[in-house]
Amino acid sequence: MPEATRSTDLDVETIRRGNARTRVTIVSSGAVSGRAFVLIAGIGVAANYFEFLAPLLAEDGDVYALDLPGFAGMPASGEEPTAAFFADQVEEVIAHYGLEDPVLIGHSMGTQVVTEVLARRDDLSHAVLVSPVVDETESSVIAQAIRFVQSTARESVHVAVMAVSAYVLCGFLYFLEVLPHMLRYRISDRIGAAHARLLLIRGEFDRPSPRRLHSRLVARARTARRWEIEGAAHSIINGHAVGVARLIRRHLDDDLAPRGRMPAAEAKVPPARHADVRMILDATATRLAEWWSAVRGDQRGVERAKSRHARLLWRAYVSRR
């Protein structure tokens, strides 16, 4: 909630496409810009990663954060979990809500999904790739595992807990089913087909998304900017959401240099203004309730827990009321 000036409303819906189901968390502050944001997280993780970024972007337009089939307690569809399959689900969400020229924002494997959508369509003008993967020169399981561990060592305990809980919901077997498709996807070969203006963002210590990959992507893209946030690692969308939101706004306003670095002090999510032990315990309880509801397939329970957690964050960061 840092920088947010409007309180947000939150709804959770499930969109079906054949046997595939995608959970959509809609965050709205009543902004009238008409420009929507569609957020896609990485392999195995949940829309919860966008808990700070979503309300910041909602200042400018409605946000649609997706839990793709097989992730965050959503059932797997039985289809091959390729980037193309997940891109189909994103396009279904765009069509279902009648979104016109939404801004697609992908993180980690989500950047592959976004790139695949962009390669199919010429009606999307802007997109953001945060921590794109995979560097084809290091596309083995061992190499990526090492890079992930190197980056994880610089992540917060908060992010680590969210990741572990999300991976448990995803399930080890489904994670292993998705992983080879992620490693084989050649984002460098597909990015040139995208017509949208691209912004690439990475953290200074983001080992799975190295500078050389960003250099290659910018060179092959039609139009792309590249920015780095100091002090950040792979999960930059959470702990450094303030900086990511600022860069996205400037990208949409075409007020951003082709290349640059943002200091960590300008990008990090600050400590909550009104945090206390009770708030921390309540926030933990809502996340546990959401997790358990997702395990049981209780979508109403997921929505109640998400809404309560959003209200807790609002009170902690913005107001005691």
For residue 10, the cross-strand partners are: 27
Q: Find out whether 46 and 71 touch, Cβ atoms under 8 Å.
A: yes
**Statement: residue 34 has pLDDT above 80:** no
User: How high is the pLDDT of residue 3?
Assistant: 61
By C-alpha distance, which of 245, 232, 202 is closest to 51?
Answer: 245
Alpha-carbon distance 90 to 119, whole Å?
13
User: How high is the pLDDT of residue 320?
Assistant: 46
Alpha-carbon distance 171 to 227, whole Å?
33
By C-alpha distance, which of 235, 135, 139, 119 is closest to 179?
Answer: 139
**Statement: residue 229 has pLDDT above 60:** yes
Q: Find out whether 238 and 181 touch, Cβ atoms under 8 Å.
A: no
Q: Where are the alpha helices (DSSP H) in the chain?
A: 53-57, 83-96, 109-120, 141-152, 157-170, 172-184, 187-190, 211-220, 236-239, 241-252, 264-267, 277-296, 299-317
Unique residue bearing structure tokens 């999960």: 235
Give residue-wise pLDDT tens across range 190-226. Answer: 999 999 999 999 999 999 999 999 999 999 999 999 9
Q: Find out whether 45 and 163 touch, Cβ atoms under 8 Å.
A: yes
The residue among 239 and 32 whose pLDDT is bigger is 239
Alpha-carbon distance 58 to 72, whole Å?
22
Give residue-wise pLDDT tens across range 133-144. Answer: 999 999 999 999
The mean pLDDT value for 113-123 works out to 97
225 φ, ψ (degrees, to nearest 5) = -110, 155
At what angle are helices 141-152 and 172-184 packed, to 10 degrees?
110
User: How high is the pLDDT of residue 321?
Assistant: 44
DSSP structural state of residue 193? G
Alpha-carbon distance 202 to 70, whole Å?
26
Alpha-carbon distance 6 to 9, whole Å?
10
The mean pLDDT value for 131-158 works out to 90
**Statement: residue 282 has pLDDT above 90:** no
User: How high is the pLDDT of residue 272?
Assistant: 81
